[in-house]
Structure 1
Amino acid sequence: MRTRLSLAFLDTATPGVRQLASAVALVVALVALAVIPDIAVEVPLVLGASVMIGLATLAAIVLPWERWNDRWTLVIPLVSLLAFGIFRLGTGGATSVFASLLLLPVVWIGAERGRICVAIAGVGTAIAMALPYLVGAQAWVPQQGVRVLFAPLIFAMVAAVVNELAAHGRRQVAQITELAREQERLLEELRGAEGFNRSVWNAIRHQAVIITDTCGRIVEWGPGAERLLATSRHDAVGRSAVEFLQPAGSEGSHGLEFESLLTLAEQDEIADGLEVRTSEGDLVPVDVTYTARLDRDGRALGYILVAHDMRQTREAARLKDEFVGSVSHELRTPLSSVLGYLELARDDEAGLSETQSHYLAVADRNARRLLALVGDLLFVAQVDAGRFPLELERLDVRRVVRACAESAVPTASAAGVTVSVEVPEHAVEARADAMRLGQAVDNLLSNAIKFTPAGGSVTLTVAREGDELRIGIADTGLGIPSEEMRRLFTRFFRSSTSTRQAVQGVGLGLNITRAIVDAHGGRIDASSVEGEGTTFEIWLPALGA
């Protein structure tokens, strides 16, 4: 590699630098002539050769060779080759010890581009070697003729090797140059991308972006984190991310492991119910999302946590709930009055025509639907405010389920849906509020009937399994798309199935049902296959016999 690059240097260096070797070699030869008295010297020839080398060196340095074709630079080594031939002639001719000087211009000529340079080196060397015989300074001797033929051949072979190595060197230099350009281009792109990423990073000021390693130690702390937590990057890097996070209402006790945070965020996509404590001691409610930080092989290097400031969102939700609760409360009184007067009007059936009775029945039905909606809104407001009253008692759940099924029979019959109940013979008891639990079952049963086409069926089951009891409501209806199951219990959410079928409702029933079940210390599960049906299961702590 080093040889090839050094030979490539002969191709890229200036003529003055390349000629420097011949000039130095001539000076060394002249010093040798002065030191060694036994060498026969013809002063005019040696002086002439020295002048030629000097002029060639001066020309190599002074003339603007870069303006001309590269081939013109061959004039300098050819002049040097002839000068060294004359120098050889003046220091003994065929017996001169300075024949090796011819090698220097030969190397220069051989390093030039093209195979023709090898031939030029061989012919030039042959002329230089034969110069004593061409000018008649020495008589032709067959033994010397062999040298005249053999030496140029050797020099030509040297020129050929140099030419090949120089070509390889030039190609490597070209490749290295191209790689350097490509590297510079990539570095420029990398600098641009880094500047862009830095600009984006600095622009994220309304979310706290925290980058950690796999153990949860902070390795980068965004401007938004500095703003939200009033903590500088210098003070945050190296600490655990959960030092800044705690469950809401934990009063300073974190009670949160980094793995638990990731599991919570992974399951729910957003870890809510958390707070961050600023350096001033203020608590800020946040939701946290995270993304794994991967290397190019897909291995986790750490995590990117994004904490969203929920103060404005929570305040807006609180104001909305207050507004809904206030409006619902104000609507309930006039609605009750309307229903009372409708009932009085319908009692006087003797004075009403059939059409008038029908109109009053429609008005009464819609007023009751509106009153039920107002009741749902008030119930939701009570849940949000933490004022959710329950009258708990020892309750046989079978009785609640049978009552709900009996109440739903007229609606189911009108829709062509069969309702069946499967309960065990022995009591299945829980500590529950009969009215609220009945409301939860009614909501699920009502939905099942709405979304089951005529000819379908709805089955209610009650069973005890270990320390829990299960209330199941299974239908053979339209089902719910799998991508919508996650949002099923979200307030005001209506599935695409209900939208397509134009089923009445505002999306509060399932949210209210889950709130009731949660208040009883239970849980609710749902599974569905689109086009086959849906199953809801309420699980409650069971009481012993």
Structure 2
Amino acid sequence: MQLRFGIRTKLLLSILAILLLSYSTLLYSTMKTLSDASRTEIEKSLEANLKYARAVFQDRTEIVRYSLLQPLNSGNVQKHIAARERAWCADRIKRWQGVLPFLELMVLVDPQKNVIAGRLDTRNPVKELAAIADQAMARKKVVVSTEIVPASLVEGSRAFRPLQGELLMVTMAVPVIDRQGNILGCMLTGDVLNDDGSMAEAMRKVFGRDVEIAVTQRAQKISTSFAGDLSTAPPLTGAILEILERGEQFHGEVELAGQRYETVIDPLLNSRGELVGSISVSVSTGRYNKMRNTNLANILVSASLGIIASVLLALVASRHLTGPMRQLARGVARIQEGDLSQRVEERYHDEVGLLAGSFNKMAGALQERDRIITLKTQDLQELNEQLEKKVTERTRALTMEMGRLEAVLTSMAEGVVVTDADNRVILFNPAAQQMFELVPYRVVGQTMEHVCDIGGFTPLAGRIEEVRETGASGLKEEIVVKGKRLTVHLSSLLDEAGAFAGAVLSIRDVTVEQEVDRMKTDFISTVSHELKTPLTSMKGSLQLLLNRGKWLTDTERQLLTVCFNNTERLIRLIGEILDISGIESGGMAFNFNPVRIGEATAYAVEEIRSYAMGHGITIVNTVGDHLPMVLGDRDRLIQVITNLLSNAVKFSPEGKVVMVSAEHEGNYVTLSVSDRGKVIKWVDREKLFKKFQQIETANRQKVSGTGLGLAICKEIVERHHGRIFYTAAKEFGNTFSFTVPIIEEEHAKGNDTHC
């Protein structure tokens, strides 16, 4: 039995359904907005608190840097250090420790890393800090890193809680350099982070119980802004450590003291790029959840009250509406029976009254129906006559348009060939006749395979068949026929149903253009050779003036420095032009031998590491020695890796990590360099491997270059029978990769003895 509802019931059900849908949508959108707002606030709080925690370490480091640089650059201090006056140096270190009481380690060593003065036994060298001391003295600049050291290194300074006999220490190495640039020694300082009460107390006062700031040594907490026993704190999981070891931040949710906290963990790397610890910031989500629940309760209460009030109003409105509708239904029934004189009362001044007036007008309009149909038939005949006239005019216009198109095709310098669905030629312009050396009557109506055979264009037959099978467009083919170098563009024609209807071939003779391009390349190479010698002489002269010209004023020295820098830039530009010209012309020799890709990568990373540290970038090399040997020119492969690393450092934000990785794929080894810079736009990706092309960036004034680096990399990789390509990340990051073919194991072993 089918249920039948009246207007009143339908109206009530409709209003109730609309209210339920509206309030459900409102509830969902409000909860989503609140959740998104809470998430945004939590992320902002995490970012701000992490910056503050980082600032605590950086402020101490800057205090130590500026407190020690000035006295160590003093001539009097350097004189006593050069003389190895241990008693005087020990007294001076004692004074400096009074100024910097938070330092647990302050040791002065000579260039051989023997202790001159400090809190250590002067008979033993500082073995644990030898690496950072070597870096500082080699670079002649201050080096700061976070290191894990034995607890015995600072024994007796104050009580610490070491982990397995080790401590996490912010270490600074300050080289002592005299006015002649000679290394007199190195000052080593250390600030232990284990159980740092002053830092924990300061952060506890700032953030309270809603935020925890913690420092870990490897996976275990060693300092926190929460009061409690650190030995019971759970260590970081393996999944978190795996993310931190890649130099990336971890974002997630953890439970602290029975509450849920959103957490961000930032890795701490030592001077060798290894993970030694982390800084974590945790924000409580309880306050945000409470606010969300309160808003949800308020919405549910207001929704219930609104539904009740709306149902009551709908009952009153439906009673007022259904009476006139019943009267109108009776009038429609009488019209159906043939009583066209039937009328209804128009006593309402609302939509129902308008409907009654429309009903009365409809009854009178039925009498005019036959007359209107006759008039419309006459109008339709007139429209048909006008349509025939327009079709005739349009046909004449199309004929004229076809004549213009034929004139354009006839006058074109490029050859144009058009085929139908059966691959038979239907159009063959004069330029194509000259290139194929065929007359139209021997071509039109013939299959394209037959035309290619008699015209000497056999290589095109396979590409045309590919277009027929796949329906592809935009294919390009370069062929040499009868001494001419031709560029052929192939596109498919589709009918209204999207099926293959033919193909279009555009043929262009580029013989003269390529000859002009070759002459231009030879001219640039010749000019570059002629310019390189005088520029080298100018560089040497400017360098001599800058090194020995003590009489120069600041302005003159600045101008000479600008000249020297621009001369170096021109020499680099000329060198790159000569490299790419030599590769293109085949004049550059490649010495192919078995190469270990891991060794080549390590050499390139060490070569670029100081440049990366100057930009605040950390390079992480994950290329191992397990990869098979490749066949290539070792120096040229190092040049490719160095160019890719240099580009990654240039376009990476300060403080980010550049990853170098490699993997064995089939007969090739694929090496990739990944950065965390802004993703390259689609419109710029076609220019990546072209000569003299540079990508527009927001800080273009800070990035200099010739636009030849990637072009040189492409030529070198292709000479190794590999390929180079670009891959973009979803949000941030770019990856440049290239492949190099491997060699057979027996061949590699046989040649390895000669390497």
Q: Distance in 2 between matches of 1:173 and 1:345?
A: 98
Q: Distance in 2 between matches of 1:178 and 1:361?
A: 83
Contact 1:419 1:458 in 2 (8 A): yes
Q: Distance in 1 between matches of 2:579 and 2:623?
A: 30
- 1:414, CA displacement in angstroms? 1.6
Residues 186 and 237 of structure 1: is their aligned pair in 2 closer, same or farther, counting only changes over 3 Å?
A: same
* Amino acid of the structure 1 residue aligned with 2:708: L
Instruction: Provide the residue aligned with 1:441 in structure 2.
Output: 641
Residue 406 of structure 2 is aligned with which of 183, 198, 205? 198
Unaligned runs of 5+ in 1: 1-166
Instruction: Provide the residue aligned with 2:704 in structure 1.
Output: 504
Instruction: Provide the residue aligned with 2:682 in structure 1.
Output: 482
Percent identity for Structure 1 against Structure 2? 26
- 1:361, CA displacement in angstroms? 5.3
Q: Distance in 2 between matches of 1:501 and 1:297?
A: 52
Instruction: Provide the residue aligned with 1:516 in structure 2.
Output: 716
- 1:338, CA displacement in angstroms? 2.5
Residues 256 and 515 of structure 1: is their aligned pair in 2 closer, same or farther, counting only changes over 3 Å?
A: farther
SS of the equivalent of 1:328 reads helix
SS of the equivalent of 1:231 reads coil
SS of the equivalent of 2:739 reads strand
Residues 208 and 361 of structure 1: is their aligned pair in 2 closer, same or farther, counting only changes over 3 Å?
A: same
Contact 2:584 2:715 in 1 (8 A): no
Instruction: Provide the residue aligned with 1:209 in structure 2.
Output: 416
Residues 441 and 227 of structure 1: is their aligned pair in 2 closer, same or farther, counting only changes over 3 Å?
A: same
- Could you give the per-residue CA deviations for residues 109-164 of structure 1, whole angstroms, max 9, x where no partner exists? xxxxxxxxxxxxxxxxxxxxxxxxxxxxxxxxxxxxxxxxxxxxxxxxxxxxxxxx
Q: Distance in 2 between matches of 1:366 and 1:200?
A: 51
Instruction: Provide the residue aligned with 2:612 in structure 1.
Output: 412
Contact 2:468 2:492 in 1 (8 A): no
- The 5 Å alignment of 1:78-89 reads none
- 1:518, CA displacement in angstroms? 0.5
SS of the equivalent of 1:487 reads coil
Instruction: Provide the residue aligned with 2:476 in structure 1.
Output: 271
- The 5 Å alignment of 1:108-187 reads 177-178=385-386, 180-187=388-395
Unaligned runs of 5+ in 2: 1-374, 746-755
Deviates more, 1:493-502 or 1:396-405: 493-502
Instruction: Provide the residue aligned with 2:732 in structure 1.
Output: 532
Instruction: Provide the residue aligned with 1:308 in structure 2.
Output: 508
- 1:391, CA displacement in angstroms? 0.9
Contact 1:479 1:529 in 2 (8 A): yes
Instruction: Provide the residue aligned with 1:257 in structure 2.
Output: 462
Residue 454 of structure 1 is aligned with which of 630, 643, 654? 654
Residues 229 and 171 of structure 1: is their aligned pair in 2 closer, same or farther, counting only changes over 3 Å?
A: same
* Amino acid of the structure 1 residue aligned with 2:398: L
Deviates more, 1:512-521 or 1:256-265: 256-265
Contact 2:617 2:652 in 1 (8 A): yes
Contact 2:658 2:674 in 1 (8 A): yes
SS of the equivalent of 1:490 reads coil
- Could you give the per-residue CA deviations for residues 492-532 of structure 1, whole angstroms, max 9, x where no partner exists? 22223388555222321111101100101111121124851
- Could you give the per-residue CA deviations for residues 208-237 of structure 1, whole angstroms, max 9, x where no partner exists? 111023454422111221233332222222
Instruction: Provide the residue aligned with 1:224 in structure 2.
Output: 431
Residues 500 and 435 of structure 1: is their aligned pair in 2 closer, same or farther, counting only changes over 3 Å?
A: same
- 1:258, CA displacement in angstroms? 2.8
Q: Distance in 2 between matches of 1:170 and 1:358?
A: 93
- 1:488, CA displacement in angstroms? 2.0
Q: Distance in 1 between matches of 2:477 and 2:588?
A: 22
Contact 1:480 1:529 in 2 (8 A): no
Instruction: Provide the residue aligned with 2:533 in structure 1.
Output: 333
Contact 2:467 2:491 in 1 (8 A): no
Instruction: Provide the residue aligned with 1:371 in structure 2.
Output: 571
Larger Rg computed on CA atoms? 1
- Could you give the per-residue CA deviations for residues 450-486 of structure 1, whole angstroms, max 9, x where no partner exists? 1111122211112323321121100001221123323
Instruction: Provide the residue aligned with 1:42 in structure 2.
Output: none
- 1:426, CA displacement in angstroms? 2.9
Residues 342 and 190 of structure 1: is their aligned pair in 2 closer, same or farther, counting only changes over 3 Å?
A: closer
SS of the equivalent of 2:489 reads strand
Q: Which protein is richer in helix relative to its size?
A: 1
* Amino acid of the structure 2 residue aligned with 1:210: V
Q: Distance in 2 between matches of 1:212 and 1:194?
A: 17
- The 5 Å alignment of 1:233-244 reads 233-241=440-448
* Amino acid of the structure 2 residue aligned with 1:233: P
- 1:387, CA displacement in angstroms? 2.5
Q: Distance in 2 between matches of 1:387 and 1:432?
A: 17
Residues 530 and 447 of structure 1: is their aligned pair in 2 closer, same or farther, counting only changes over 3 Å?
A: farther
Q: Distance in 2 between matches of 1:436 and 1:319?
A: 26
Q: Distance in 2 between matches of 1:260 and 1:353?
A: 74
Is 1:189 the counterpart of 2:397 in the alignment?
yes
Contact 1:481 1:530 in 2 (8 A): no
Instruction: Provide the residue aligned with 2:517 in structure 1.
Output: 317
Deviates more, 1:289-298 or 1:499-508: 499-508
Residues 377 and 258 of structure 1: is their aligned pair in 2 closer, same or farther, counting only changes over 3 Å?
A: same
SS of the equivalent of 2:677 reads coil
* Amino acid of the structure 2 residue aligned with 1:389: A
Deviates more, 1:519-528 or 1:481-490: 481-490
Q: Distance in 2 between matches of 1:264 and 1:171?
A: 51
* Number of residue equivalences: 370
Contact 1:394 1:430 in 2 (8 A): yes
Instruction: Provide the residue aligned with 1:99 in structure 2.
Output: none
Q: Distance in 1 between matches of 2:470 and 2:570?
A: 39
Residues 273 and 172 of structure 1: is their aligned pair in 2 closer, same or farther, counting only changes over 3 Å?
A: closer
SS of the equivalent of 2:690 reads coil
Residues 263 and 485 of structure 1: is their aligned pair in 2 closer, same or farther, counting only changes over 3 Å?
A: farther
Residue 624 of structure 2 is aligned with which of 390, 413, 424? 424
Instruction: Provide the residue aligned with 1:297 in structure 2.
Output: 497
* Amino acid of the structure 2 residue aligned with 1:184: T
- 1:182, CA displacement in angstroms? 3.5
Q: Distance in 1 between matches of 2:637 and 2:522?
A: 26
Residues 430 and 173 of structure 1: is their aligned pair in 2 closer, same or farther, counting only changes over 3 Å?
A: closer
- 1:264, CA displacement in angstroms? 13
* Amino acid of the structure 2 residue aligned with 1:229: F
Q: Distance in 1 between matches of 2:566 and 2:524?
A: 20
- 1:294, CA displacement in angstroms? 2.2
- 1:312, CA displacement in angstroms? 3.0
TM-score (norm 1): 0.60
Contact 1:265 1:289 in 2 (8 A): no
Is 1:398 the counterpart of 2:629 in the alignment?
no
* Amino acid of the structure 2 residue aligned with 1:221: F
Residues 530 and 427 of structure 1: is their aligned pair in 2 closer, same or farther, counting only changes over 3 Å?
A: closer
Q: Distance in 2 between matches of 1:544 and 1:435?
A: 21
Contact 2:490 2:505 in 1 (8 A): yes
Contact 2:475 2:491 in 1 (8 A): no
SS of the equivalent of 2:631 reads strand
Residues 266 and 170 of structure 1: is their aligned pair in 2 closer, same or farther, counting only changes over 3 Å?
A: closer
* Amino acid of the structure 2 residue aligned with 1:254: P
TM-score (norm 2): 0.44
Contact 1:245 1:274 in 2 (8 A): no
Q: Distance in 1 between matches of 2:651 and 2:672?
A: 16
- 1:405, CA displacement in angstroms? 1.0
- 1:298, CA displacement in angstroms? 2.7
SS of the equivalent of 1:330 reads helix
Is 1:469 the counterpart of 2:677 in the alignment?
no
Contact 2:423 2:448 in 1 (8 A): yes
SS of the equivalent of 1:257 reads helix
